[in-house]
């Protein structure tokens, strides 16, 4: 089987130590987590982990099974890139002088469909949402001018197909 990128969605109660146990599942199998995001979900009092890994489908099935054995986990799913809509976010902090002295900076921002979030005397901050490749391309364009700070979020995603998590939870509560 061939390695592919998978997005794992884990719906869980928000309990201390769960993240550590979930990351341990990947550690035991020597599978690197490429991206991790934890947030509220569409269901009240339920958190959603978005974990991106590169592995075989057999391994991701095994991992999802192990994750679901955790007491606080309600349900876990996995999807390929083709089955999801996903984005990452990034912030670039750049010296303000470049915004006025280097006209190309303004063109880069415009062409990349980025947004200037704030401007101060010493720096300005650009925000970019998109695929990882788009963010990496913008990084490469800004790099020759000097990037004071850079941060990129983990992947956020929704599945193209309906995930029956809400009805699954209703059935469990009955």
- Binned average pLDDT, 10 residues per bin, the chain of 174 residues: 92 87 92 93 89 95 94 92 94 93 92 96 96 96 96 91 68 52
Do residue 76 and residue 90 come from a single domain? Answer: no
- CA atoms of 117 and 91, how far apart (whole Å): 9
pLDDT given for residue 167 in this prediction:
64
Does one domain contain both 116 and 47? no
DSSP string computed for 89-104: EEEEEEEHHHHHH-HH
Q: Which pTM was predicted?
A: 0.82
Q: Are residues 75 and 92 in the same domain?
A: no
Final residue before a domain boundary, out of 48, 82, 116: 82
Could you tell me if 77 and 104 lie in one domain?
no
Domain count of the fold of the chain: 2
Nearest to 88 by CA among 40, 33, 23, 36: 36
Within a domain: 167 = no
| 111 and 58 share one domain | no
Tokens of 164: 């029956």
């Amino acid at each position: 089987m061939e390695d592919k990128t998978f997005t794992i969605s884990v719906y869980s109660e928000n309990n201390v130590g769960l993240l550590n146990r979930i990351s341990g599942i990947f550690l035991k199998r020597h599978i690197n987590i490429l991206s991790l995001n934890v947030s509220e979900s569409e269901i009240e009092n339920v958190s959603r982990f978005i974990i991106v890994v590169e592995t075989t489908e057999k391994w991701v099935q095994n991992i999802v099974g192990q994750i679901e054995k955790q007491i606080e986990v309600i349900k876990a799913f996995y999807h390929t890139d083709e089955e999801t809509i996903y984005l990452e976010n990034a912030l670039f902090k750049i010296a303000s002088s470049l915004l006025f002295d280097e006209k190309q900076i303004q063109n880069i921002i415009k062409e990349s469909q980025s947004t200037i979030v704030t401007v101060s005397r010493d720096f300005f901050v650009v925000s970019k949402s998109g695929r990882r490749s788009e963010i990496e391309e913008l990084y490469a364009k800004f790099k020759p001018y000097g990037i004071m700070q850079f941060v990129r979020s983990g992947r956020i995603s929704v599945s193209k197909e309906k995930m029956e998590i809400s009805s699954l939870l209703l059935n469990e509560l009955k």
